[in-house]
Amino acid sequence: MGVKFVATNETRYDTSAFASGKFCKLSVSLPYFSTISTHSRCFEPNIMAQTTNTHTVTFRDRNINSGNTANGVNTTVYNSDQNAEIMCWISPLKLEDRHDTVRTDRHEGVGDWLLEIKEFKEWREDEGGADKAVLFCSGNPGVGKTHLM
């Protein structure tokens, strides 16, 4: 009985987390990202502009804030057509958004232990030289590795 109750509550909390903002963020970035994934070749800037506008309109209908977010992404990253074109030529992948989601979800203080241990400090401060250039945090699923990022 007790176990069942906890499970029900967990589901509810996760749903509420999505409703309280996280979902809005994902609803903008995921369709945007999936558009990129369907094109292995680089976008022409005018095609990119059309695509982004379409999404902006769609999400503004649902939620004004989402529309603003989409506009924000657009102006930050594609402030110059030429730079955008070169960046897109380098790689169509855009990795920044995922980090915003992770850092928003992280509870303050979780994982702070890592910054304090000797191995991390040596890695960070370059004290170990080239030998200690790679740090690997190893753990089973669910132990909080992603939130160390």
Partner 1 sequence: MVIDGLYDQARNGDLAVAWLYCDYLAPQEQTVINVIGAILKQLIGKREIPKEIVEESQGGRRPLLADLKRMLKMVINSLPQVFICIDALDEYLPKDLPILLESLRDIRESPTTRIFLTGRPHVKEAILRYFSKAVVIPVSPNQDDIRSYIEMRLDRDEEPEVMDNNLRSDIVKMVLEKMSDMCVAKFRVPPANGDACTYQQLRI
Nearest approach, Cβ of 44 to partner 1 (angstroms)? Answer: 13
Q: Token pair for residue 34?
A: 């999936």
**Alpha carbons 11 and 15: distance in angstroms, whole number:** 6
Q: CA distances (Å), 17 to each of 2, 22, 132, 143, in order?
A: 23, 6, 39, 20
Interaction site with partner 1 (CB under 8 A): 2-3, 5-6, 9-10, 13-14, 16-17, 20, 33, 36-37, 41-42, 83, 85-87, 89-96, 98-99, 102-103, 106-107, 109-115, 117, 119-120, 122-124, 126, 128-149
Nearest approach, Cβ of 60 to partner 1 (angstroms)? Answer: 26
Q: Considering beta carbons, is residue 29 or 67 the nearer one to partner 1?
A: 29
Q: CA distances (Å), 18 to each of 12, 33, 85, 113, 137, in order?
A: 10, 19, 34, 28, 28
Nearest approach, Cβ of 85 to partner 1 (angstroms)? Answer: 7
